[in-house]
Amino acid sequence: SRVRALWQGITTDNADAALPAFFPITAYRQVKAISNPDGDYNSRLIPAYREDVRTLFGRLGAQAAGAQLLGVDVPENATWVPPGDEYNKGSYWRVYGATLRWSTPDGRTGTFPITSMISWRGEWYVVHLGPIR
């Protein structure tokens, strides 16, 4: 359901629709050992995610509304990130380099990157859709 929400957000240029796929703020507060996790989440992570959704919508072009999600490819080699790494106080599984595969009604096919995903309580969430900023 989260991947479908992400795809809907991309194909409609609606980052709010894609938010269910994004790492929850409640988890971010518990994981990060920074002075203001809410500020970082709301001023850095969410704006970057919104920008990335818009960029991917633009790459689909005029065919965005009819574009179909063909699948998601996630590397099998997740990395355990212990406390102290990546400014965190909690640990989690992370994977880099997942991709969304798609096609458009005019026959184009392609992939979009999911740069970084984190597993939280057994569920995977996007943290960085595009470049890590």
Helix H, strand E, coil C: the string for 3-35 is HHHHHHHHHHCCHHHHHHHECCHHHHHHHECCC
Owner of token pair 């212990």: 82
The closest of 133, 88, 94, 124 to 6, measured between CA atoms, is 124
78 band by pLDDT with thresholds 50, 70 and 90: very high
pTM beyond 0.95: the answer is no
Contacts of 84 (CB under 8 A, 6+ apart): none
Q: pLDDT tens digit string along 12-55?
A: 999 999 999 999 999 999 999 999 999 999 999 999 999 999 99
In degrees and rounded to multiples of 5, residue 14 shows phi and psi of -130, 90
Q: pLDDT tens digit string along 95-130?
A: 999 999 999 999 999 999 999 999 999 999 999 999
> Between vectors from CA 119 to CA 74 and to CA 83, what angle results, nearest 5°?
125
Dihedral, 113, 118, 123, 126 alpha carbons, nearest 10: -40
The closest of 10, 14, 116 to 63, measured between CA atoms, is 10
